[in-house]
Structure 1
């Protein structure tokens, strides 16, 4: 029994959230691994009992190649423009019985629709991960970040809560 967190992060904010979630899961005594999306195999290890998939919200949804290129022009780390969670989901071998929870990061703006977590959960279900559902959104202060005050603590607490379901 373990947890795998697959994360896409352009400016480091989604990765910081994933690491905080992992801290909460570890604090509950559950083994967890954080894996950058480009380095994650498309076959989820059978020992994984909970899969988390997260990344930034770009243009009201999961990133696309062109939105990742835009992020790089704005100062994000280069070399991450090819593979995002959208592409990983498209190639992943589904495990219908595996619980999957999504999360995302985004700038907090009132009345702006869209969420990478929502679209990722829908895409995961469409691709055969029948038990996928939307989890949390974590907020950043502007496109490059940092995380908004208290979001790391909230992510850690959410990780502890998720560990009880792993």
Structure 2
């Protein structure tokens, strides 16, 4: 008898094709491109996969926070994110022994919200717990800093 997949599982699939270090990817009809810095053998004609990894962290946090905010009964407005990933390239480029992962990733987020301080603290912790991309970074062993700032939600016009 075949095992039935869990009803809550949503498959995510990406198809990639490329030459050298450049690639074209298709995610369900959404096409995007990757390349690398010249030091890594690329032409720097598209974002590095590492930028996409950091970008997925910002957007996944925003999506997850929207779900958490709904559960908390709070509103969210505009967001700003600044993320920095510090990568020692000794393993990637030079083949040194060790972990090719980012040494440190820092998330700085500001979000407009009507949340109380207590609700905002819950928004941050629940978003970190429930965000698949945050969990990838946190569980990878990299030093992970998650610093969020609460901004007042503008009054409705």
Normalising by structure 2, report the TM-score: 0.29
Please identify the structure whose Cα radius of gyration is greater: 2
Higher strand share: 2
Normalising by structure 1, report the TM-score: 0.28
The higher relative CO (CA closer than 8 Å, separation ≥ 6) is in: 1
